[in-house]
Homo-oligomer: A and B are copies of this chain.
C-alpha cells in the first residue's frame, strides 16, 4: 500500500490525497508537522533531501517527492492525464505554472496568515505577494471564462493542482470576487466524483 508523508493543512499534500481518493487507491497517511521542523530532521531528509512534504513511499524504501511529480506518476494511464501528447503537455504547462507563478504567492501567503497565524509579522512580505498572486489568478481566469477546465474540456490533474491553493486563496488574503470564471470552475471541481475537502481524511 502507498504511504503518504503529509501535513493535513497543506495544499500540496491535499493534491495527492484528492487524486488517490478519486482513483480509489487506498493509502496510509503519516502526519509530518512541518511547523515543528518534522520535515527537516535527519530521518525525513533520508526520504526527501529537499525537506518538503508530500512524499509518496511508492514501495518500501522508494520515495517520490514534489506534489506535481506525484500527480503525474499516479495519473499515468488514467482519465486524469490526457493520452493526447499536446493535451498532456498543456497539463504539464499548468503544473509548472502552479509551482512557479501561483504557489509561491498564494500558498506562501496562506502559510504565513493561516497556518502560522503570523499576518502581523509578515505584513510587508504579504503585501509583496499580492501583485504576482493576482497576476496568476488572472491567467487562470482568462482560461476559465472560456473553458470549463484548464485543459481540454474535462477534469485532469491540472485542475487538481490549481484547485488545491486557489480554493483557499482567501486564507492567504486573496479575494476571488473579481474572478467569476474561477468561481464557477471551483464549483465544477467540487462536483467531481469522490471529491474530498482539504482537511478531510
- Interface of A, helix, strand, loop or mixed by DSSP: helix
CA distance A103 to B96 in the complex (A): 12
How many copies of this kind of chain does the complex include? 2
On chain A, which size bracket covers the interface?
20 to 34
Q: Which of A56-93 contact B (CB under 8 A)?
A: 58, 62, 64-70, 72-73, 76, 85-86, 88-90, 92-93
Residues of B within 8 A of A62 (CB): 86
B49 x A142 contact (CB < 8 A): yes
Q: Which 10 A-B residue pairings sit nearest by Cβ, starting from the closest?
A: A69-B92, A73-B89, A66-B96, A69-B93, A66-B93, A99-B100, A49-B139, A72-B92, A50-B139, A49-B142
Residues of A participating in the B interface, judged by any CB pair closer than 8 Å: 49-50, 58, 62, 64-70, 72-73, 76, 85-86, 88-90, 92-93, 95-97, 99-101, 103-104, 136, 138-139, 142-143
